[in-house]
Copies of this chain bind each other. A is one copy, B any other.
Amino acid sequence: MDKQQKIAVLGGGSWATAIVKMLSENLETVGWYMRDSQSIEHIKENNHNPKYLSSAELDANRLDLSYDINETVSKYDTLIFAIPSAFLESELHKLSISLENKIIFSAIKGIVPETGLIVGEHFNTEYQIPIENIGVITGPCHAEEVAMERLSYLTIACQDEEKAKKMATYLESWYINAKTSDDIIGTEYAAVLKNIYAVAAGIAHGLGYGDNFQAVLMSNAIREMKRFIRKVHKMKRNINNSAYLGDLLVTGYSTFSRNRHFGNMIGKGYTVKSAQLEMSMIAEGYYAAKSAYKISLENKAKTPIIDAVFAILYEQKSPKKEFKKLTDKLD
């Protein structure tokens, strides 16, 4: 392993912090860009991120922190983006230097609102990054358990197998197992869709449906995800692998998931606006539902769960009535 490999993480949230922690188990120096200079000072002095995943112990000596995205991008060859998709474009607009020849990994689970694209496609079409220089880092993985050093499995996807394998090596440690895949489109869509299904699980819970129904919902969700992804990018994949089914389960069954929490409020009768105000954070599944619904329509995929979530979130349909209709379509 080349311990001097030039890898940087962009983003200051929980998942970014978890990835920095994983990398710094292996690398002598990890580049780390975040906007918040106060957090940077805190990390340098106290060895943990004050705002997100503060339980994760970091070794500040190994971190090359910067609040200047251009500085970080100029110094590192491989960039891992872990910025919420809603803020990605405003961050990229700060760049005065080119992303040419950079290897870009997306650890973002969402759709870029400005283009309606998954992150890999966004970098490919908007920034002309060749597809073989784009990768995806996906779970099933709650950042909180990385902080606790509990055994977690990642999937690293890249069409260029060597790049996936290399990144896997840098992320692996005694508590991280990293597998590789060549399905960058499918794994990224899975990470996006699972947030919509987590919203659906939350709505169901908020409406009073129980664990029996939740199991039926998840069993239908994975079949729906398979149909959707096959329409969008047909290739041989086992939808029950950890990057698809595992990622769906860790989110759909998590009571800490923002998306599930958001759905739960909707199911309990909150409006979208009041639920978002209450949460003070935006659930990725909210944006994902809009894009996924559109893509599903265009591709003529059969996606009753996405359709129901879309109707509830964007067409002000009654959650109770939409879910009653949905239950007749599930099996």
A242 at the interface (CB under 8 A from B): yes
Shortest Cβ distance from residue A144 to the other chain B in the assembled complex, whole angstroms: 8
Shortest Cβ distance from residue A156 to the other chain B in the assembled complex, whole angstroms: 12
Distance of A88 Cα from B298 Cα, bound (Å): 54
Distance of A254 Cα from B142 Cα, bound (Å): 20
Distance of A287 Cα from B131 Cα, bound (Å): 51
B interface footprint on A275-314 (CB within 8 Å = 1, 0 otherwise): 0000000000000000000000000000000000000000
Q: Is the pair B213, A241 in contact by a Cβ cutoff of 8 Å?
A: no
A327 contacts across to B, CB distance below 8 A? 151, 177
A240 contacts across to B, CB distance below 8 A? 219, 222-223, 226, 239-240
Distance of A139 Cα from B239 Cα, bound (Å): 22
A177 contacts across to B, CB distance below 8 A? 327, 330-331
Q: Is the pair B218, A151 in contact by a Cβ cutoff of 8 Å?
A: no
Interface centre among A141, A177, A213, A239 (most CB of B within 10 A): A213
Q: Number of copies of this chain in the oligomer?
A: 2
A253 contacts across to B, CB distance below 8 A? 211, 215, 249, 253
Shortest Cβ distance from residue A207 to the other chain B in the assembled complex, whole angstroms: 10
Q: Closest residue of chain B to A253, judged by CB?
A: B253
Given the interface pairs A223-B240, A240-B222, A242-B331, the reply to whether A249 lies near B153 with Cβ below 8 Å is no
Q: Is the pair A212, B179 in contact by a Cβ cutoff of 8 Å?
A: no
A148 at the interface (CB under 8 A from B): yes
Q: Is the pair A148, B210 in contact by a Cβ cutoff of 8 Å?
A: yes
Q: Is the pair B330, A211 in contact by a Cβ cutoff of 8 Å?
A: no
Classify chain A's interface size: 35 or more
A47 contacts across to B, CB distance below 8 A? none
Interface centre among A141, A212, A219 (most CB of B within 10 A): A212
A101 at the interface (CB under 8 A from B): no
Q: Is the pair A141, B223 in contact by a Cβ cutoff of 8 Å?
A: no
Q: Is the pair A153, B242 in contact by a Cβ cutoff of 8 Å?
A: no
Q: Is the pair B211, A142 in contact by a Cβ cutoff of 8 Å?
A: yes
Interface centre among A150, A216, A241, A331 (most CB of B within 10 A): A216
Shortest Cβ distance from residue A126 to the other chain B in the assembled complex, whole angstroms: 32
Q: Is the pair A151, B238 in contact by a Cβ cutoff of 8 Å?
A: no
Which residues 218-254 of A sit at the B interface, judged by CB distance below 8 A? 218-220, 222-223, 226, 238-242, 245-247, 249-250, 253-254
A140 at the interface (CB under 8 A from B): yes
A26 at the interface (CB under 8 A from B): no
Which single member of B179, B220, B242, B250 contacts A211 (CB below 8 Å)? B250
Distance of A104 Cα from B266 Cα, bound (Å): 44
Pull 14 A–B residue pairs with CB atoms less than 8 Å apart, ordered by A.
A139-B215, A140-B219, A142-B211, A150-B209, A153-B213, A153-B330, A179-B331, A211-B253, A215-B242, A215-B253, A216-B246, A218-B245, A219-B249, A240-B240
Q: A179-B331, A215-B242 are in contact. List 11 more A-B contacts (CB 8 A).
A: A145-B211, A150-B208, A150-B210, A151-B210, A214-B250, A215-B247, A215-B250, A218-B246, A219-B242, A249-B249, A253-B253
